[in-house]
Structure 1
Amino acid sequence: MQWLAVALYGDAILSPPSGTGLAHVGSTACINYAMSKNAQVPRIFEKLNRFNVPVWSLLFNFVVGMIMFLPFPGWSELVGFISSAVILSLAFGPVSLAALRYQVADLKRPFRLPFGISFSAISFVFVGYVVYWTGWQTNWKVLLTVPIGLIVLTLARITSSETPPPLNLRESILLWPYIAGLGAVSYLGSYGKGLGLLSEGVAMTVITIFSLAIFALAIKLRLPDEQARNFVNNE
């Protein structure tokens, strides 16, 4: 099995810069560019060079990437942080799909997913599971990025020369109890230096009930159907 170990090490060295790394460098720069267009981050990230590349976004992401090595001295800690952050960001997908089933139920689409709302609810619950399994030692750092992002968003909107789009605070208000709830269960749980006050079964039960409650309330607090249809029609 020595050859397999060598192959795995080779893949770990070559894959990030040649495949995944390049894909993420380009995609994250474009995300910053799009967020700048929506007045969610400073306007400087909209600037393109003569090759139409958002160079300031690339430089910013490089600096942030270097800074991320400071609180994560080991590879496993960094991977855990990235995994938890990515999974947490995916929580909005199931909620959006379920909400759209009510808002634009008659929308013509080439693919129709059966039991879409049920699959969305299950997916939302599993997001909570994965975040919990990542452990408190990593999750407190992930959850800390949410208020930091809110500060950046506020500064971008204040300094914007144009009228920024509405934030729809009523529809997004459940983000805060959701983040706080996952953080509390993670802190009381047994993974990643948590207090260990919750057994595995109790923690899973709490996350399941809590996630389903947040999911149901998020659907209830969705954007008005007419407003959602206008967004879809303008795309």
Structure 2
Amino acid sequence: MDSTSGASTPASEDSHLKQRLGYWSLVATGIGSVIGSGWLFSAMYAAQTAGPASLVAWVIGGAVMLAVALVFAELGMVHPESGGLVRYPLYSNGRFAASIVGWSMWVTYVANPPTEASGVVQYASSYIPGLFSHSQLTGFGIVIAVALMAVFVVVNYFGVQFFARSNNIVTAVKICIPTLTIVMLLLSGFTHTGHAGGPSNFSAGGGFAPYGMGAALGTIATAGMVFAYTGFRNIVELSGEVRNPRRNIPASLVTTILLAIVLYLLLQTAFIFGVPQHLLGHGWSGINFDSPFAQLAMLLGFTWLYWILIADSMISPSGSGIVFTASNARNMFGLAKNRFFPAWLARVNPRSGVPRRALLTNFIVGILFLLPLPSWHAIIGVTGTLIAFTFSIGSVSLVAFRRANLSDPADRLPGMTLIAPFAFIVSALVIYWVPWSELVLTIPIIAVGLIWYAVTYVIQHHGVGEVVGGIWLVVYLAVVYGMSAIGGFGGLGLIPSPWDSVVLAVLAAGLYIWGTQSGTNYMRARPELVEELRGQRDAASSDELQTDVSPAAR
């Protein structure tokens, strides 16, 4: 693509990617990401903040993620491309919008392997002293976490097929252990084994919503819920390496989200059931375990389950860390193709089909996360909010693609005229529901991305058109942060709840209209961009057809 399109695509590098992932490998990728450290910690942190009302937050969070997943399912069908999550905004709204979203997304991705590694080490501290102290990793613990991150890199270094086979095996193990934990804790609650509170815990510790429903809504981003659900992103990030993307991408995305919703609702219920009532003397906020499910199992007398969970605390986060290490390499690969990062990162090793330079660069940057944020909860508190922000623009890209006639009717999922704006508006609300004191911590990260874009703008001479397509996104951020500062979720309280959420929803709807119109104008002004994307889609469809009829495929 020429410089006027704002979407340079080094096709020679994309051609090195291997299209070897099918439906089951994609489901394993999604579930392998969902069942990471999130299942080991999220239930406790959600209960601390919201008590039993955390179940409501899981349902709302799941509904949002399902809507977002459907949006990206259509985008993946229309234009499957590795690193697509940072490429779609470039095509629909230009470099400025893609840079803001891409930077935020890269930060959340590069933080995942250290998050998973710190989760492993935190659980291991229950039987290896000196790893975790005063709610954070020790120096020795950080060294062990870095070594584990290096293992994630090695597994991905030798190719997508080696990654897929390894992940399929790990995922099969990971599904069994949470299921076993759910069954045992629910049984203990009904039989009151080990003094488990059971169903009566829903009214103990201050009642169903001891800290109000506002606290429950805030946990969606800050307690690791968004983090736990967002494994589906990795399916989209690997879409350029998928066989039959029109069938496998939407099917695997929906499967992943639905399984995740069921799993996490049951895990939260099991945790609530299992907590002995004598521990609720100071309410749910007083529940604090370094290794939540493992220590709870020990309290209830399930020593054998304790050791299984300790073993799984190495398997589940490690499996998720392996998947996110793979996906983030494609994410950086996509950002380098966007010319946001140096071009030498947009290189794929022709033998392995892996962007190794991006893989190793992310490893080095990931280490830096463990120094200022040396714990699972500390990292999640910052990145969970950014994850919700990066989902918003998917709905805008989808509408722009449709209006530019980039997508065929066969690639359009039903109901998206309602689902796309719903995903956009509720994503904005999820950000807003984060307490202002925590949301404000993300402002420096966004600011760094804006500064870096300004540098690339001056060096690369993008043109004013590349900025105009993304102005609405800056206003969107200003509105959300401004509302948070004056609203009822830790702000000044100038607009009382629930009217603050209603006001933001209306403003978000207006910004959605602005964003989609801006994207439509951007694409219609660049017919050569649309034609090139159509050509790539047609070529991919032709390759897909040849693959489907080949003996090897059968």
State TM-score, norm by structure 2.
0.37
Shift in CA distance, 205/41, structure 1 to aligned 2, threshold 3 Å: same
Identity percentage over the alignment? 24
- Counterpart CA distance in 2 for 1:9 and 1:195 is 43
Question: What is the number of residues matched between the two proteins?
Answer: 230
Judge conservation of contact 2:472–2:515 (CA < 8 Å) in 1.
yes
Judge conservation of contact 1:187–1:195 (CA < 8 Å) in 2.
yes
Deviations 1:182-231 (A, max 9, x none): 1112222344x534444331221121011001001112222243636325
Residue 24 of structure 1 aligns to a residue in which SS?
Answer: helix
Task: Find the partner of 2:485 among 183, 187, 190.
Answer: 187
Residue 133 of structure 1 and its aligned partner are, at CA, apart by 2.1
Q: Which residue of 2 aligns with 1:90?
A: 391
Judge conservation of contact 1:80–1:134 (CA < 8 Å) in 2.
no
Task: Find the partner of 2:428 among 96, 110, 128.
Answer: 128
Residue 199 of structure 1 aligns to a residue in which SS?
Answer: coil
Task: Find the partner of 1:174 among 464, 472, 483.
Answer: 472
Amino acid at match of 2:416: G
Q: Does residue 1:67 correspond to 2:368, yes or no?
A: yes
- Counterpart CA distance in 1 for 2:306 and 2:485 is 36
Deviations 1:95-146 (A, max 9, x none): 11122232217x4243432332221111101101111223223322323322
Q: Which residue of 1 aligns with 2:507?
A: 210
Amino acid at match of 1:58: L
Between 53-62 and 84-93, the greater mean CA deviation after superposition: 53-62
Q: Does residue 1:38 correspond to 2:341, yes or no?
A: no
Q: CA RMSD in A?
A: 3.0
Q: Which residue of 1 aligns with 2:419?
A: 119
Judge conservation of contact 1:38–1:165 (CA < 8 Å) in 2.
no
Residue 485 of structure 2 aligns to a residue in which SS?
Answer: helix
Shift in CA distance, 175/169, structure 1 to aligned 2, threshold 3 Å: same
Q: Does residue 1:77 correspond to 2:77, yes or no?
A: no
Q: Does residue 1:201 correspond to 2:501, yes or no?
A: no
Residue 155 of structure 1 and its aligned partner are, at CA, apart by 3.5
Q: Does residue 1:110 correspond to 2:407, yes or no?
A: no
Unaligned runs of 5+ in 2: 1-184, 186-296, 537-554
Residue 71 of structure 1 and its aligned partner are, at CA, apart by 4.4
Q: Does residue 1:148 correspond to 2:148, yes or no?
A: no
- Counterpart CA distance in 1 for 2:492 and 2:368 is 28
Between 200-209 and 216-225, the greater mean CA deviation after superposition: 216-225
Residue 12 of structure 1 and its aligned partner are, at CA, apart by 4.3
Unaligned runs of 5+ in 1: none
Residue 433 of structure 2 aligns to a residue in which SS?
Answer: helix
Residue 44 of structure 1 and its aligned partner are, at CA, apart by 3.6
- Counterpart CA distance in 2 for 1:86 and 1:130 is 10
Amino acid at match of 2:476: Y
Residue 156 of structure 1 and its aligned partner are, at CA, apart by 4.3
- Counterpart CA distance in 1 for 2:423 and 2:396 is 9
- Counterpart CA distance in 2 for 1:53 and 1:224 is 31
Deviations 1:59-102 (A, max 9, x none): 33223323323443542232232221112111111111122232
Judge conservation of contact 2:400–2:523 (CA < 8 Å) in 1.
no
Shift in CA distance, 104/52, structure 1 to aligned 2, threshold 3 Å: closer
Between 93-102 and 196-205, the greater mean CA deviation after superposition: 196-205
Judge conservation of contact 1:41–1:153 (CA < 8 Å) in 2.
no
Between 8-17 and 126-135, the greater mean CA deviation after superposition: 8-17
Amino acid at match of 1:80: G
Judge conservation of contact 1:36–1:45 (CA < 8 Å) in 2.
yes
Residue 39 of structure 1 aligns to a residue in which SS?
Answer: coil
- Counterpart CA distance in 2 for 1:52 and 1:44 is 16
- Counterpart CA distance in 2 for 1:5 and 1:188 is 45
Q: Does residue 1:23 correspond to 2:323, yes or no?
A: yes
Shift in CA distance, 122/10, structure 1 to aligned 2, threshold 3 Å: farther
Answer with 1 or 2: which has the greater Rg.
2
Residue 58 of structure 1 and its aligned partner are, at CA, apart by 2.7
Deviations 1:36-73 (A, max 9, x none): 12311123423556755434423332233233234435
- Counterpart CA distance in 2 for 1:104 and 1:141 is 40
Residue 221 of structure 1 aligns to a residue in which SS?
Answer: helix
